[in-house]
Amino acid sequence: MDTASLLKRARSGDKDALVALIMAKKDEYYRLAYTYTGNREDALDCLQDMTVKVFDNIRKLRNADAFYSWSKTILVNLCRALLRKKGRVIVLDHIVEEACHEDYSAREERQDILDCLNRLSSIHQEVIKLRYFMDMDYETIARVSGIPVGTVKSRISGGMTRLRELFGGDYRG
């Protein structure tokens, strides 16, 4: 069944249709939640809360084409709320799982990059990980983060400048 008809059914109160919509992008949702929370249990809790919140508010969604960005924004807000509640900052060192076949120098370089990322401010970490870890475009980052596109670009630029300084100068990767 196509997205439009599932969305129509979900807006009419069909829970199965909503679950089908979410399951179609379950990996994207999970990666996004995990990127924020840094662990499986919190990511799954936020996904569960997002599903309930989306179901409760889906009738308020004006533009059906915006369902996925709208639901991802809800997920990001729930992740942020969980982190505030737990008094944690966004942790990046759990995002990249090391593959067994990676050589030692690649793992060491990856850890150096993550250590530098963790030294950035949370606003810079957020936009950099959404851009480079989640491969989101500027407009999507702006929608999900609730900030203007220009601010996204500015934060990425500032964060990358600081990251280059921390990593050792002119490194361009």
**Close Cβ partners of 36 (under 8 Å, ≥ 6 residues apart):** 43, 46, 76, 79, 80, 83, 90
CATH number of residue 131's parent domain: 1.10.10.10
Identify the domain containing residue 116 by its residue range: 104-167
Residue 124: which of 97, 144, 151 has the closest Cα?
A: 151
Same domain, 7 and 79: yes
Give the pLDDT confidence score for residue 107 in this predicted structure: 63
89 touches 117 (CB < 8 A): no
Give the pLDDT confidence score for residue 96 in this predicted structure: 42
Give the pLDDT confidence score for residue 134 in this predicted structure: 82
Same domain, 26 and 81: yes
Looking at residue 148, its amino acid is P
pLDDT of 124 strictly over 50: yes
Would residue 97 count as lying in a domain? no
> Tens digits of per-residue pLDDT, 92-112?
444 444 343 445 556 676 677
Cα-only R_g, the chain? 18
Average pLDDT rounded to a whole number, residues 121-137: 87
Separation in Å, CA 27 to CA 33, 85, 115: 10, 25, 26
**Most confidently modeled range among 144-148, 150-154, 163-167:** 150-154
- pTM value? 0.63
Same domain, 122 and 73: no
CATH number of residue 67's parent domain: 1.10.1740.10
pLDDT of 71 strictly over 70: yes
Range in 37-41, 56-60, 168-172 the model is least confident about: 168-172
The overall longest dimension of the chain from CA atoms, in Å, is 56
Average pLDDT rounded to a whole number, residues 30-44: 89
Same domain, 82 and 127: no
